[in-house]
Amino acid sequence: MNTKTLLLGQTFEARGNPLTHPWQDVTFVNSSGGVLIQGTTITEVGDAGVLRKNHPDAEVQDYGQHLICPGFVDAHVHYPQTAIIASWGKQLIDWLNTYTFPEEMRLSDPDYARTIAERYLDLALDHGTTTMCSYATIHPASVDAFFEQAALRNMRTVAGKTCMDRNAPDGLRDTPHSAYDDSKALLRKWHGKGRAHYAITPRFSPTSTPEQLSALGALWAEHPDCLMQTHISEQLPEIAWVQELYPAARDYLDTYESHGLIGARAVFGHAIHLEPREIDRIAETGAALIHCPTSNSFIGSGLMDLAGLAARAIPLGLATDTGGGSSFSMLRTMAAAYEIAQLRGTALHPAQLLWLATAGSAHSLHLENRIGTLAPGREADIAVLDLAATPAIAQRTDEAETIWEALFPTIMMGDDRAIADVWIAGSKRGPVSSG
């Protein structure tokens, strides 16, 4: 019989989308809550006193006034860019040529790929992130390294081989045929193995020929249960470049759509400068858009219209976009989302921000029935937040009159010091075992 563990503290629950419904109606904090875990799964969420009484045999972990919430879900990252995070002075195309492509070349070495995967996953866990959707490089070994290291940590993850057959340096280009073959082999190897999910991954239209996009569209049609991840409308010069490369396309989205790369399991990163037709089509198909606010400001991309896209009931997630994003922390990413929304005239509530980083991102990755909420039947991936982790935060929290006032300073000023504990599939995070 599975051992019972009872986590006690303040518990955050989301029972709907606070971007499309009043946040007061769908998000809740129980100031004396509990989460019962049996094995790898959450079996009950409720009042601490009731759970204690009904489960006297449970091992109790009492977190006091800490906030127990789902582990953060980072819906768009580039783990190979870990070592170049916070590099100076470039916008998108120059960023790729100056920093990204030289670093990704290094992951042709399986040992280096493993080192970076280990480093990235541990940094993510340090910051309370328990699931992420990552790009690898064109090298199959970079995909293997990521999934192997995630499996050692028992993390639920999504990743895929990045496919590029033009506008990239020698050593970072594949072909339509090899992109299809490599992706198919990796998909068969990893998709559904343990807690791994595969995402078919063209980097973006400028680095793929129409032939490669068609090949990947065909692969996705053969394996429609996989995700398809890529980038769209991140910067205005990028959009102009796409128009030059695809002169017959109606818009940027059409470069994907015309090759079978749109649908409910499509995940598009950035989506800052969308045309009305693109928004209509994305809403119609149910594709997800991922907000990458620290990246969008750091490399000068623009301000995503989160509120406007939410009003169209488009699935939305939140992401660090490591390493174009300037932080591994989803707390810092929530803060940046708040700041960008303010610049667009909307003050996002703390409940909305926390939802985006958990249930919203899980839904965008079609993992909402597994992770992202504290609810019976969900996997016990949990982050515990210390809402007084630093003197600066504590002095503000002391003045708070509601839980939301107490949470907001941690969102705005928190970092890895605010992560009191992380639970992965029902086990408190401990040292990694090589087996």
How confident is the model at residue 48, as a pLDDT?
98
- Give me the residue label for tokens 């401990």: 430
State how beta strands 59-70 and 72-78 pair.
Answer: unpaired
Cα distance between residue 39 and residue 33, in whole Å = 20
Cα distance between residue 405 and residue 409, in whole Å = 7
Ramachandran area for residue 118 (φ above 0: left; ψ -120 to 50: alpha; else beta): alpha
Q: List, for residues 352-396, the tens digit of each pLDDT value.
A: 999 999 999 999 999 999 999 999 999 999 999 999 999 999 999
Percent of the chain with pLDDT over 90: 96
Cα distance between residue 361 and residue 375, in whole Å = 16
How confident is the model at residue 89, as a pLDDT?
84
How confident is the model at residue 271, as a pLDDT?
98
Q: How confident is the model at residue 192 (pLDDT cuts 50, 70, 90)?
A: very high
Q: List, for residues 49-107, the tens digit of each pLDDT value.
A: 999 999 999 999 999 999 999 999 999 999 999 999 999 988 888 989 999 999 999 99
- Residue 81 to residues 116, 130, 238, 324, 372: CA-CA distances in angstroms? 9, 19, 20, 8, 25
Structure token pair of residue 103? 């670093």
How confident is the model at residue 329, as a pLDDT?
98
Q: List, for residues 396-419, the tens digit of each pLDDT value.
A: 999 999 999 999 999 999 999 999
Cα distance between residue 185 and residue 138, in whole Å = 13
Instruction: Answer whether residue 15 shows pLDDT above 60.
Output: yes
Q: What is the mean pLDDT of residues 209-230?
A: 98
Q: What is the mean pLDDT of residues 218-233?
A: 98
Number of neighbours of residue 214 by Cβ within 10 angstroms: 17
Q: List, for residues 269-278, the tens digit of each pLDDT value.
A: 999 999 999 9
**CA end-to-end span of the chain, whole Å?**
24
Cβ–Cβ under 8 Å, residues 34 and 11: yes
Cα distance between residue 277 and residue 205, in whole Å = 18
How confident is the model at residue 116, as a pLDDT?
98
How confident is the model at residue 433, as a pLDDT?
58
Cα distance between residue 42 and residue 351, in whole Å = 21
Residues of the chain with CATH 3.20.20.140: 72-364
- Residue 9 to residues 4, 32, 67, 387: CA-CA distances in angstroms? 17, 6, 6, 12
Strand partners, 13: 28
Topology adopted by domain 72-364: TIM Barrel (3.20.20)
Q: List, for residues 246-286, the tens digit of each pLDDT value.
A: 999 999 999 999 999 999 999 999 999 999 999 999 999 99
Structure token pair of residue 57? 């045999």
How confident is the model at residue 398, as a pLDDT?
95
Output the CA angle 279-252-243, nearest 5 degrees.
145
Residues of the chain with CATH 2.30.40.10: 4-71+373-428
Cα distance between residue 385 and residue 66, in whole Å = 5
Cα distance between residue 206 and residue 173, in whole Å = 12
- Compute, in degrees rounded to 10, the torsion defined by CA atoms 299, 301, 307, 312: -130
Percent of the chain with pLDDT over 70: 99
Q: How confident is the model at residue 435 (pLDDT cuts 50, 70, 90)?
A: very low
The CATH number of the domain covering residues in 4-71+373-428: 2.30.40.10
Q: Report the 3 state secondary structure along the chain.
A: CCCEEEEEEEEEEECCCCCCCCHHHHEEEEEEEEEEEECCEEEEEEEHHHHHHHCCCCEEEEEEEEEEEECEEEEEEEHHHHHHCCCCCCCHHHHHHHHHHHHHHHCCCHHHHHHHHHHHHHHHHHCCEEEEEEECCCCHHHHHHHHHHHHHCCCCEEEECEECCCCCCCCCCCCHHHHHHHHHHHHHHHCCCCCEEEEEEECCHHHCCHHHHHHHHHHHHHCCCCEEEEEECCCHHHHHHHHHHCCCCCCHHHHHHCCCCCCCCEEEEECCCCCHHHHHHHHHHCCEEEECHHHHHHCCCCCCCHHHHHCCCCCEEECCCCCCCCCCCHHHHHHHHHHHHHHCCCCCCHHHHHHHHHHHHHHHCCCCCCCCCCCCCCECCEEEECCCCCHHHHHHHCCCCCHHHHHHHHHHHCCHHHEEEEEECCEECCCCCCC
Q: What is the average pLDDT value for the chain, to the nearest integer?
A: 97
How confident is the model at residue 50, as a pLDDT?
98
Residue 223 burial class via C-beta count within 10 angstroms: exposed 0-12, middle 13-18, buried 19 and up: middle
How confident is the model at residue 10, as a pLDDT?
98
Strand partners, 36: 6, 44
Residues ≥6 apart with Cβ < 8 Å to 212: 163, 165, 174, 175, 176, 179, 202
Instruction: Answer whether residue 335 shows pLDDT above 50.
Output: yes
